[in-house]
Every structure is written in structure tokens, then in C-alpha cells.
Amino acid sequence: MSNINLIDSFQEFKDFKNIDRPTVISVLEEVFRSMLRKKYGTDENCDVIVNPDNGDLEIWRTRKVMEDGFSEDDDLEIELAEVKQIDPDMEVGDDYIEQITLESFGRRAILAARQTLVSKVLELEKDEIFKKYKDRVGEIVTGEVYQVWKKETLVLDDEGNELLMPKTEQIPADYFKKGDTVRAVISKVDMVNSTPKIIISRIAPEFLQRLFEIEVPEIFDGLITIKKIVREPGERAKVAVESYDDRIDPVGACVGMKGSRIHGIVRELKNENIDVINFTNNISLYITRALSPAKITSIKLDDATKHASVYLKPDQVSLAIGRGGHNIKLAGKLTGYEIDVYREAGEEDEDVDIEEFSDEIDSWIIDELKAIGCDTAKSVLSLSVDELVKRTDLEEETIKEVISILQSEFE
């Protein structure tokens, strides 16, 4: 019975995924040598032969044959009279080799050995998983969603290893259910209570970079390099690229014919808008490109404070700022400059579309004003506060605040 239990455990070791055969043999041999030391006091005269593929185990013990009464250590030597009872042909000075059976250790020792083997191999497997993924930080991994919790999602890779994707590392529009295939980048690997904790992310800039490497062969081959990536996950991203070959247009190569290359990336990122811009060391030009799609009239730079004052025509301001301020925020991160946007002073009678104030006035207020025919700044200012209160559902205080914002445009 004891022998069967140990052989069953060998079959378990054979199935471990991340441990090579020499390591398994080494662990098994060490456990049995430990048993030999406990039983005989030494294992230096023992040979342990393990076959992890089929569970075969052979233990051979060698002792020197001594004249009767001259044996000083029964663990290393055996007297002639004793050995003659086993093998009459043995002589003094011969090596007596005997096979040690598992049963001779006793059932309790064998069960303890089995438990030790299981725990040692499990520990080794955890170490191997940790080493494997520690070296893969920054790489893309594909896995299957196994379980979805409130704060994180458990993903299994193709070998069944557990990967954790916290909610904070997911794109806001991400929605997963069990069985879904998911791609993410390995962002962090730690050992927690002797167990590897592998964190994967879909919001890290490295994830977007790896997607570009997959979709754009010129990046993978090193002809185009990604200088910097900044993201507001699920909303907008800006990618600065540079070509080492003058014949290659880095932006065109990344976007692809009719957007063929970038469309796949956009879909993967839940329709995140991606601006690909040509990197340059000319800061003014770099900021101009970073604020795309807005068209800039002029820029004033303060290199000492890393500050840029950008002047645009009124109809370009909202484009520069972007929905929720994402465009100007990402442009600042990409260039390393704090960017302030200013409306360019126009002619005295110039009017401004009310939509151009969407960064300062809530959209529902603008809709109220447009509903009564006030679709420009001057059309609003031409009416009194009382008239605006009467014709809209806006509070007097709100209207006064709007008028103040609009008047500042013409000051």
C-alpha cells in the first residue's frame, strides 16, 4: 500500500507544467536521501535511482565486509559472519550491496515523504512561474477569463497559470464574462506569501505600444520607433513616432491604408481615439502637432518653466481642449510642457459661435440658449438678463455667469 501511494505521487510530479525533469529527479532524490539519513545515520554509501516518468525507484546500499569483531560502524560496514548468512561467497574486503525497499522505512515515513515531495514540487513550481513572468513584464499575454469579481478579474493563460486584472487596470468600457478571451500586458509580478501574484493591465501605455508592434511591421522591425505614448484609457491616446528611414512616413505606416492598421487597435481599446504624430525636437512644432486636430495660430514658449502659451482662432479652441479636456491634457504630457490656450483677438465686430465656449459653459446650458435662437455670443449679450430668464429655464445666477464668460471674450 505504501509503495502504491508513493508511485501515485510520482505521477503527479510528472504532470507538473513548469518544472524540468532533472529538477524533479533532484527533489525526489533529496527527499529519499533524507529518509536514509534518518534511518541509517548516513546516505554517503547509498545510491538513489529515480525514474519520474513511471514512478520506478531503486535504492542501493553499499557496506564494506569486515572481519568479525572489527566492524566499527554498522551503517558503513558489515561483519563477515553476518554477510555469510546472506551470501556465502562474500569475503573480507568485498563490497556488500543490498537493495533497500520502500516498505522497510515504514508506512508513516513513506506518507511523510509523499507530503514533503508534493510541497517541495509545488514550491518549485511557484518559483518557476515567478521567474518566467518576472522576465516577461511589458509583454502581451492572451488568456481566458475564468472569474469576474467586483474589483478584479481572474484570467488563466494557456498553461492554466492565474493572472489578475484589477478593475483599475481595465479600460472603463471593458466588460468581461467567463470564457472570454482577453489580451493585456504583464505590468507587475510579485511574490505574496510564497505565491506569485501576476498583475496584467489594459490601460498601461506599454499595452498600446505592443499592439502597435503587432499591427505595424515597421515598428517590430525597428524602422519606426515609438518615442512616447500617453493615454486617457478608453477616451484618447497620443503616440509620437519617428522613422529612421527617410523613405518611410511613420504616421502613414502606423495608420495604414484607409486606417487599416490602426482600426484593429482602436477596436481592441474600445474605440479609444488614437492620434499618431510625427516626433520632432522642434518644441513649437511638436506642441502644434500634439494639439491636433486643432490648428494653432502662434505659440510663445518659456523653456525655463516648461510653459507654452498657445493662441488659436475662436473656432479652434474647443478642438484644442477636447472633450473633457483630454486633448490638451495629453498634449501637455506628451511634450512635457504646461499648455495654456488663448483665443486670438479678432476684429471688433467679430462674433463667436456659442459652441466654442463648451469648455467653460455646460452643454445643457448651451442647448437652452440655442433653443431660443441664441447660437452666438453676441446674440446672447444682445438680450437682457430678465429677457433671458423669461425665455429660458435658466436661473438668473446661471445667466449672469454665462454673460460674464461671454463678455470676457470681447474685452
SS (H, E, C) 265-331: HHHHCCCCEEEEEECCCCHHHHHHHHCCCCCEEEEEEECCCCEEEEEECHHHHHHHHCHHHHHHHHH
Does residue 151 belong to any structural domain of this protein? no
Residue at which a domain ends, from 77, 105, 133: 105
Residues 310 and 328 in one domain: yes
Closest CA to 202 of 245, 246, 155, 158: 155
Does residue 172 belong to any structural domain of this protein? no
Provide, rounded to the nearest whole percent, the portion of the chain with pLDDT above 70.
Answer: 92
Residues 50 and 9 in one domain: yes
CATH number of the domain that 304 lies in? 3.30.300.20
Between 368 and 5, the more confident residue is 368
**Confidence class of residue 3 from pLDDT cuts 50, 70 and 90?**
very low
CA distance 43 to 198: 40
Residue-wise pLDDT for 105-164, tens only, equals 878 877 887 787 778 878 888 888 898 899 899 999 999 999 999 999 999 998 889 999
Does residue 182 belong to any structural domain of this protein? no
Residues 340 and 385 in one domain: no
Q: Taking a C-beta distance cutoff of 8 angstroms, is the pair 168, 199 a contact?
A: no
Structural domain for 80, as ranges: 3-105
Between 202 and 20, the more confident residue is 202
Residues 338 and 394 in one domain: no
Residues 94 and 19 in one domain: yes
**387 CB contacts (<8 Å, ≥6 apart)?**
none
Does residue 214 belong to any structural domain of this protein? no
Does residue 268 belong to any structural domain of this protein? no
pLDDT at 346 over 60: no
Threshold 0.95, pTM exceeds: no
CA angle 127, 131, 132 (to 5 degrees): 115
Residues 21 and 88 in one domain: yes
Residue at which a domain ends, from 72, 105, 138: 105
CA distance 132 to 191: 13
CA angle 309, 315, 320 (to 5 degrees): 45
Does residue 333 belong to any structural domain of this protein? yes
Residue-wise pLDDT for 245-294, tens only, equals 888 999 999 998 988 999 999 999 999 999 999 999 999 999 999 998 88
Please give the pLDDT value at position 133. 92
Does residue 118 belong to any structural domain of this protein? no
Residue-wise pLDDT for 63-93, tens only, equals 888 888 777 777 788 888 888 888 888 888 8
Please give the pLDDT value at position 20. 66
Question: In the predicted model, what is the mean pLDDT of residues 305-316?
Answer: 87
Q: How many domains does the chain have?
A: 3
CA angle 90, 92, 93 (to 5 degrees): 105
Residue-wise pLDDT for 10-65, tens only, equals 555 545 555 666 777 777 788 888 888 888 888 888 888 877 666 577 888 888 88
Please give the pLDDT value at position 345. 59
Does residue 63 belong to any structural domain of this protein? yes
Question: In the predicted model, what is the mean pLDDT of residues 174-198?
Answer: 92
pLDDT at 232 over 90: yes
pLDDT at 5 over 60: no
Residues 33 and 73 in one domain: yes
Residues 97 and 23 in one domain: yes
Residues 363 and 330 in one domain: no
Residues 331 and 361 in one domain: no
CATH number of the domain that 14 lies in? 3.30.1480
Residue at which a domain ends, from 105, 136, 152: 105
Q: What is the mean pLDDT of the chain?
A: 85
Please give the pLDDT value at position 305. 92
